[in-house]
Structure 1
Amino acid sequence: MVAEPQIRVRSPWVAALTLVLTCGAQFVVVIDETIVNVALPSIGTELAFGTAELAWVVDAYMLLFGGFLLLGGRCADLFGRVRMFRVGLTLFAVASLVAGLAGSPELLVVARAAQGLGAALLSPAALSILVVTFTEENARRRALGIWGGLIGVAGVSGVILGGVITEAVGWPWIFFVNVPIAIVLGGLTLLLPTGEACASTGRFNPVGATLVTSGLLLLIYTVIETSHRSWSDPVTVAGLAGAAALLVAFVAHERRTANPIVRLGLLARRPVAVANILTVLVSAGLYGMFFLLTLYMQQVHQWSPLRTGWSWAPFGVAIAVVTVLAIRLLPRIGSRSLVVGGLLLFAAGQYLLLRTTATGGYVEELLPALLLCGAGLGLALVPNTVTAVSGIAPAEAGAASGTLNTSQQVGGAVGLAVLATLATRRFASELATGTTPADAIMSGFHHAFTVMLGLTATAVLVAFLVPSVRRPVDVGAIA
């Protein structure tokens, strides 16, 4: 394959540039998963979306993002990390421009899908650049800590910006803002110093790429569609069975090929496997919480998009503050204790959501839950991210990064679909028994929150399998 220059950190300035570039890209990618939530009513009214079709403004992005992440990670290893970073960034920016200009529901959904594909190329390339750039132990811990803390902060920032921008200048600007940011990030890549070539010497694996991408796309699509079909519907069962068959075929093919998309031995490593399982479980609860609480604020309390967005601010601040603390504590306390403690705080915040009422105040009911959830995520995400990608050889950095991001997207898509479906069906069943609309909608939310708490409780149990290390795992393997 074409060799690509390796980025080398020779000064604090270069380190800062690389951190801003890679984390900035990831921040924008994650923001676009939540920035549309608050704007959906405005988009639906202006473009005449049907109720069922409006969900695809969110789902199209998640479908392509999650479906192509593993392939995107492998492309970063084979064709060059910086090269794929630029390709993904360009596609993301162009798709954002088209989304803002869209005058029909069909064009907006297609543009959102293209955004997701660009993000699938951009995100693993950015993380792999970060992994192979920061080779010194303390520097890597700090860099990966910042990266890990971005998930919750960016998600909250998306909700806040969505509300502010929609009310101030209109929903098209939630997409237009990506264009100047992409131009700045693209320009920063030209400032990166380069050294000798360091790219994977493997070959592209079209069969493996087709199997894993098809399997993930079918899985995510089938789960998303459960908002319209039951889990026992023959179409749902066939979709899940087909996705499972494709992914099993992918694993069988990867065992035989000399050029795997993801080396199975990598996934068999305990730190990698446990970190990815935790990412699936936590993402399922986190994405579901963003969606359900945003609806709760707007539907139950009748808050405006602006107030809804700013109500999430304490959650983001808690993540940011505790992430800094977690970076300092990791070498002293160890990854297992931080992950377990963080997830227990996350679960405590979710438990408080079960006590919310239709008439309760923000300070009394929501604020304590948001602060606990934010603090818990800030404490847990840093060591989990470090565990997932530390000790990975440079030639597999993109594949490892793609795997972690895939776990996040698949977990988020599945969690969002399942929790939203549970809330909707409980609401409908309560109405059918004569319950008042206000009580029915609260019953639906509480039912979904209970399942969300169950996912986090499962994650706490899995977290005890996280290696008990007091520094990044095998950082000397990356040199």
Structure 2
Amino acid sequence: MTQTATLPATVTSGRDRLVLAVLLTASFTLAVDFSILNVALPVIGADVGLALADLQWIATAFALFAAGFTLLFGRVADLAGRRRMFLAGIALLGVSSLAGGLATGPVLLLAARVAQGLATAAVTPAALSLLTTSFPEGPRRERALGLNGALMAAGFTTGAILGGVLTDLLSWRWAFFVNVAVAAVVLAVAPLVLAESRPARRPRLDVPGAVTVTGGLLAVVLGLTSAGEHGWAAPRTWGALVAGIVLLAAFAAIERRVAAPLVPVRILGRRRVAWGNLAGMLAFATETSLVFLLTIYLQEVLGRTPLAAGLSFAVLGLGTVLGGILGPKVIARLAHPPKALALGLAVQAAATLPLVFLGSTSAWLPVLLAATFLGGVANLVAIVGFLVTATSGLPDSDQGLAAGLATMSQQIGITLGIPLMSAVVGAVLATLGTGSPDTVLTAVRTAIAVNTALTALTAVAVRLALPSPRR
């Protein structure tokens, strides 16, 4: 019997720590990439020749492909090998980041962001499935998933801070070059510590399903992004959303008929998988969009600089790390992961509620910091509950699929949350007709109220749909 097999369930071996370090470093880096360029967008546009109206494509090009290809690449990882897909994605991340850092024109820069999105879609589900297959169900897996969730959520906040620091002290190009160094280290260490993982029987690739679900997700995310920029009535918004719905409906029909579906109906028929992924998507959407709303508040209402606004979220980052540590403990105490998921969302809603009453003076900063810290802790408890809920109780042959679904949910949540809240802000500003700080404050408070209500309703829905088992 090996040393690892004789360890208690709560003890982690040295090799396990290396596996965790490699996988979590990759996941954290990819999470940072979602937001690291946001603060620097005007500077980047001036350097590479992108017009102000086109700056949002630096973020959208990444998010579109990261969300749209996740499910497909999760299944390809089951076919080709999860370690192989992980390493290929990390290599693509390094090359594309080098290209982005050296870009002098918009074409190369946007192509690099597309490639970074594809790398994210390849690496994230592979890393999550390697994590779940490396640790058996129980406290060790829950702890690993807790750390993964904490770093994924903290990465979004860290990206905003790091982007401001790098842009002010060095150059926005270092936001790309940092990835090159991380990719080199991971590629050097990962082959030594990661074992190949794939199902004993390789499934066939469902090509029609892959085409329709990828196209549908791309269209939906594009439509939601357009809603935040142009409003819900714009032809490009509803046209993309209708196309996405049609393609996803076709995907659902295909999955019921093919012999080897990309997403077996039996998986989605599991209540914990379906509700866990829905709640996880909303957990990511509400918290990342709250960061967006508070960034507007800090800069447009209180007059803070981008760097100062980014540093204000350091408290939120600490809360997410603490929540990732507490998440497995809460699950162990409640003995029912969906209950921890619902509890985390409920506390997150309660912590966000005071922000609905934000005022126009700096006296509200202590309230903001306390609320975001507590909300960050609760959000990570919910995210850990989501990851455990959505990936437990499944055989290893389905872990790549479950990981792909979970990863897709978190990336779509990160992608759609900001456009949705931006659409609320835009609708209020259009109704009031001015862009004064008082009007912006009203719009932000309205969007925060919607955010709070959505979080609370999700908590109630999960609690009702996934009740604790009878003893």
Could you say which TM-score interval applies, normalised by the shorter chain? over 0.9
> How many angstroms does 1:197 deviate by?
7.2
Tell me the residue number matched to 1:413. 415
Matching of residues 60-459 of structure 1 within 5 Å: 60-135=61-136, 137-192=138-193, 194=195, 198-334=199-335, 335-361=337-363, 363-432=365-434, 437-459=436-458
CA distance in 2: counterparts of 1:101 and 1:320, whole angstroms: 33
Contact 2:78 2:198 in 1 (8 A): no
In structure 2, runs of 5+ residues without a counterpart are 6-11
> How many angstroms does 1:364 deviate by?
2.7
Relative to structure 1, is the Cα distance of residues 390 and 169 closer, same or farther in structure 2, using a 3 angstrom cutoff?
Answer: same
Structure 1 residues 393-402 or 352-361, which shifts more? Answer: 352-361
Matched letter for residue 451 of structure 1: V
Relative to structure 1, is the Cα distance of residues 228 and 328 closer, same or farther in structure 2, using a 3 angstrom cutoff?
Answer: closer
Matched letter for residue 292 of structure 1: L
Tell me the residue number matched to 1:476. none
Contact 1:47 1:103 in 2 (8 A): yes
CA distance in 1: counterparts of 2:209 and 2:233, whole angstroms: 30
| Deviation by residue 1:114-150 (Cα, 9 ceiling, x = unmatched) | 1001100000000000111101522112111211222
Contact 1:205 1:260 in 2 (8 A): yes
> How many angstroms does 1:467 deviate by?
5.2
| Deviation by residue 1:354-395 (Cα, 9 ceiling, x = unmatched) | 121222336433112211211211222212211111122222
| Deviation by residue 1:329-370 (Cα, 9 ceiling, x = unmatched) | 322223244222221221122212212122233643311221
Contact 1:72 1:120 in 2 (8 A): yes
Relative to structure 1, is the Cα distance of residues 467 and 90 closer, same or farther in structure 2, using a 3 angstrom cutoff?
Answer: farther
| Deviation by residue 1:305-331 (Cα, 9 ceiling, x = unmatched) | 332222111111112123222222322
> How many angstroms does 1:452 deviate by?
1.1
* SS at 1:361 equivalent: helix
> How many angstroms does 1:240 deviate by?
1.7
Matched letter for residue 330 of structure 1: I
Relative to structure 1, is the Cα distance of residues 227 and 380 closer, same or farther in structure 2, using a 3 angstrom cutoff?
Answer: closer
CA distance in 1: counterparts of 2:196 and 2:404, whole angstroms: 24
Relative to structure 1, is the Cα distance of residues 198 and 270 closer, same or farther in structure 2, using a 3 angstrom cutoff?
Answer: closer
Contact 1:66 1:409 in 2 (8 A): yes
CA distance in 2: counterparts of 1:98 and 1:197, whole angstroms: 32
> How many angstroms does 1:246 deviate by?
1.0
CA distance in 1: counterparts of 2:467 and 2:82, whole angstroms: 29
Aligned length: 460
Matched letter for residue 462 of structure 1: A
CA distance in 1: counterparts of 2:81 and 2:377, whole angstroms: 36
> How many angstroms does 1:198 deviate by?
4.7
Tell me the residue number matched to 2:8. none
In structure 1, runs of 5+ residues without a counterpart are 1-7, 471-479
Contact 2:125 2:400 in 1 (8 A): yes
> How many angstroms does 1:22 deviate by?
1.3
CA distance in 1: counterparts of 2:197 and 2:21, whole angstroms: 23
CA distance in 1: counterparts of 2:270 and 2:397, whole angstroms: 16
TM-score for the superposition, normalised by structure 2: 0.92
CA distance in 1: counterparts of 2:468 and 2:50, whole angstroms: 50
Contact 2:212 2:250 in 1 (8 A): yes
> How many angstroms does 1:200 deviate by?
4.1
> How many angstroms does 1:296 deviate by?
2.2
CA distance in 2: counterparts of 1:405 and 1:29, whole angstroms: 12
* SS at 2:22 equivalent: helix
TM-score for the superposition, normalised by structure 1: 0.91
CA distance in 1: counterparts of 2:37 and 2:393, whole angstroms: 36
Contact 1:336 1:469 in 2 (8 A): no
Contact 1:166 1:305 in 2 (8 A): no
CA distance in 2: counterparts of 1:312 and 1:35, whole angstroms: 13
CA distance in 2: counterparts of 1:363 and 1:193, whole angstroms: 45
> How many angstroms does 1:79 deviate by?
0.6
CA distance in 2: counterparts of 1:194 and 1:236, whole angstroms: 44
CA distance in 2: counterparts of 1:200 and 1:455, whole angstroms: 41
Contact 1:9 1:133 in 2 (8 A): no
CA distance in 2: counterparts of 1:365 and 1:193, whole angstroms: 44
| Deviation by residue 1:374-432 (Cα, 9 ceiling, x = unmatched) | 12112222122111111222222111111111112222322211211221232243235
Structure 1 residues 202-211 or 291-300, which shifts more? Answer: 291-300
CA distance in 2: counterparts of 1:197 and 1:338, whole angstroms: 30
> How many angstroms does 1:51 deviate by?
2.5
Relative to structure 1, is the Cα distance of residues 209 and 439 closer, same or farther in structure 2, using a 3 angstrom cutoff?
Answer: same
Relative to structure 1, is the Cα distance of residues 345 and 136 closer, same or farther in structure 2, using a 3 angstrom cutoff?
Answer: closer
CA distance in 1: counterparts of 2:401 and 2:319, whole angstroms: 31
